[in-house]
Amino acid sequence: MPDQPILVTGAAGFIGFHVARRLLAEGRAAVGLDNLNDYYDPALKKARLDILRGERDFAFEQIDLADRAAMARLFAGQRFEKVVHLAAQAGVRYSIDHPHAYVDANLAGVVNLLEGCRHHGCGHLVYASSSSVYGANTKLPFSVNDKTDHPISLYAATKKANELIAHSYSHLYRIPVTCLRFFTIYGPWGRPDMAIFAFTEAIVEGTPIRLFNHGRMRRDFTHIDDVTRVVLKLVDQPPHDEGAAASARVYNVGNNHPEELLHVVAVLERELGRAAVREMLPMQPGDVTETFADVAELMRDTFRPQTSIEDGLADFVAWYCECYRI
């Protein structure tokens, strides 16, 4: 394996898998880290990992971010010039009943990662935040310049904390850090707990789709191909240290085009050739009615994600039908 591979945390997860796969396709070496937990079916994580393990320049470490000693050994064992941190305990609703999982992975785990970067010469940390940090903001679209001081779920609070912790490490130890606030990522190999996957599964099985707020929701759905292109472009563009408070920057990564949830269901029905059974439910705690990304900074430094919901869902459904032999 070439010297100085890029560390990709959450490599068996949805976004981490795609990022690692794209790095390898471009001839770059990657070390993937994941704890392979059972938040959702580990078989899907292992299937992603099997694909990565077939690549010559990939190595895998099964480590929990919260394991301080194991993380210290990982960083001491080899030098990572760049780190793409995509591992996290995800899910807004899950955080209501399982708070400690978020404290362990999203707080203690992030500090362990940053300590590794601090002591072993990491030249750039790119890490995942979330559109959930905007909380109950009503000003649309969400701008990276908006205040994010009022999270409405523990998940969102931990993501906001990640941003603050990373900024403080950047200030204290001059670690260049890039924060990516992801907006509803979807696509092949996606997470089963997310809407697109869950809706598709329900339509295929003839079970009800749960539509919260009676379906009156809008989301800025962002296709995974756009996301991976953004990450790979930015990983080689660390923020410059020009004597500012910190070498840190923040981007919204979204499609800049909210979609009505009912329209998404209609497109899935058309792609699958089956009608959905709709179950209308009230708003859930921790949810917001709409997300909408202002991507001005992203467009300035990279490009505007622009995969249409129709093209993106056709891509997802094709993968789902092949993967699950529909």
User: Residue 201: what pLDDT?
Assistant: 97
Q: Per-residue pLDDT averaged across 287-295, rounded?
A: 91
Question: One fold for both 6-183+224-253 and 195-220+256-292+306-323?
Answer: no
Q: In what order do the strands lie in the sheet with 58-62?
A: 58-62, 30-34, 6-9, 82-85, 124-130, 177-182, 248-253
Confidence of residue 77 (pLDDT cuts 50, 70, 90): very high
Whether residue 20 has pLDDT greater than 60: yes
Q: How confident is the model at residue 136 (pLDDT cuts 50, 70, 90)?
A: confident
Is the distance from CB of 119 to CB of 73 less than 8 angstroms?
no
Contact status, residue 185 vs residue 222, Cβ threshold 8 Å: yes
CA pair distance 303, 310, nearest whole angstrom: 20
Sequence ranges of the domains in the chain: 6-183+224-253, 195-220+256-292+306-323
What are the tens digits of pLDDT across the range 176-210? 999 999 999 999 999 999 999 999 999 999 999 99
Whole-number pLDDT of residue 33: 98
Distance CA 86, CA 91 (A): 14
Which CATH number applies to 6-183+224-253? 3.40.50.720
CA distances from 256 to 58, 231, 303 (A): 34, 17, 12
- Say what the alpha-carbon torsion angle 64, 70, 71, 74 is, to the nearest 10 degrees: -120
Q: What is the DSSP letter of 290?
A: B
CA distance 67 to 182: 26
Q: Is the pLDDT of residue 241 over 80?
A: no
pLDDT higher than 60, residue 229: yes
pLDDT in tens, 98-126: 999 999 999 999 999 999 999 999 999 99
- The better pLDDT of the pair 90, 309 is held by 309
pLDDT at 1: 43
Specify the pTM: 0.95
> Helix, strand or coil for residue 324?
coil
Topology of the domain comprising 195-220+256-292+306-323: UDP-galactose 4-epimerase; domain 1 (3.90.25)
CA distance 200 to 203: 5
**Residues with catalytic roles:** 155
Q: Is the dihedral of CA 244, 245, 248, 250 positive or negative?
A: negative
Residues 220, 201: Cα–Cα separation, whole Å: 21
